[in-house]
Amino acid sequence: MKVAVCIKQVPDTEAEIKWDTQKGVLKRDSIDPITNPFDEFAVEEALLTKEKYDCEVYAISMGPERAQDVLRNALALGVNGVYHIMDESLSGSDTFGTAYALAAAIKKIGDVDIVLMGRQSTDGNTGVVPGELAAILGYTPLTYVAKIREIDFQGKKIVVERAIEGGFEVVEGKLPAVVSVIKGINEPRLPNLMGIRKAAKMEIPKWTCDDLGIEKNKVGLSASATKVVEISVPPPKSQGEILKGELDEIAEALASKLLDLKIIK
C-alpha cells in the first residue's frame, strides 16, 4: 500500500519575476520559492490517507538543487520518504517531459497504488501533467478531485467526487490511479518544531536521468516540442474612467454606459 505525492516548487506569485529571455525559461534562482499551493492539499490528503489506511507515503519533486526545500517540508510533515529528481538535462522540459520523468520515478518507487498531486501549478498553470502522467503510466486518471470517499487497497478501487462544470461527479476508479486535487479538499497542516528539526538532518536522495533510465532525447529543452519563443508584457489596458459626482448621477451614468455595451439584455 503505497501513495506517492508529486510536489513542485514554484515562485511566490507576489515576487518579482525574471526570465532568461535567451532560453525562454524562468530564472528560478532569482525568486522566493514556495510549495505550489495546490500541492499542499495533495500532501495533506496523502497524510490523511496514511493515517486512515496505514499506507506508506513518498513525496517526489523534480527541480533544481533548491527544490529539496519542498521535500524537506514534506518530511517535516511526516511522509515516509522523499526523492528529488535532479538532472541538468531535465531543465526546460515541457509538460510531457515532466510527466515522463515523474512516471519514471513512480515506476522506480514501485507498487504505487495512488499518485496524488495538485490540479495545477501556479506558475505554469497548465493543469495537464496529471492527465499526461496517468496516460503514460496507464493508471486511472481522476482529476479535479474535491473529496476521496473511500479507498479499497485490497480490492484495488477508489471512489472520489470530482468538481466539474455544473456539479460533482461521483466516480469509482480502478487502482492504480493518478488523483489530482483541488483547493478545499482538506485543511493543510503546518509542520511542528520536532518535525522540522528531524527533517533538517535527513539526507534527501537524488535521482538522475541515469538512475531512472530516462532516455535523454525525450526530456529537457531540446526535446520539448513546445518552446517559448517570446515573452512580453501585455499592453496596458487603456486608462479607465473613474466616475465622479453625486451617488445618483454616478449610478445613472454607469447603468447607461453598461447598457450601451449591449451585454445586458
159 binds another protein (CB under 8 A): yes
How does DSSP assign 3-46, residue by residue? Answer: EEEE--EEE-TTS---EETTTTEE-GGGS-EEE-HHHHHHHHHH
Burial of 102: CB neighbours in 10 Å, binned 0-12, 13-18, 19+: buried
Out of 23, 27, 66, 227, the only residue in the binding site for another protein (CB under 8 A) is 227
- The correct pick among 95, 186, 195, 198 for binding another protein (CB under 8 A) is 95
- Among the listed residues 156, 67, 81, the one whose alpha carbon sits nearest the alpha carbon of residue 114: 156
Preceding amide of 191 cis, omega within 30 = no
Near another protein by CB under 8 A, which window of 57-65, 76-84, 192-200, 224-232? 224-232
Interactions with another protein, residue window 35-64 (CB under 8 A): 37-38
Instruction: Tell me how far apart the alpha carbons of residues 214 and 42 are, in angstroms, rounded to a whole number.
Output: 26
> Are residues 149 and 170 in contact, defined by beta-carbon separation less than 8 angstroms?
yes
**String of contacts with another protein for each residue 161-200, x by CB under 8 A:** xxxxxxxxxxxxxx--x-----xx----------------
Examine residue 91 and tell whether it contacts another protein (CB under 8 A).
Answer: no
Contact 145, 183 (CB under 8 A): no
Least separation, in Å, of the C-beta of 152 and another protein? 13
In this structure, the number of other CB atoms found within 10 A of the CB of residue 120 comes to: 22
**Contact range with another protein by CB under 8 A, out of 46-54, 55-63, 78-86, 139-147:** 139-147
Name which of 76 and 163 has its Cβ closer to another protein: 163
What's the min distance (Å) between Cβ of 265 and another protein?
Answer: 6
Provide, rounded to whole angstroms, the least separation between the CB of residue 245 and another protein: 10
- Which lies closer to another protein via its Cβ, residue 12 or residue 88? 12
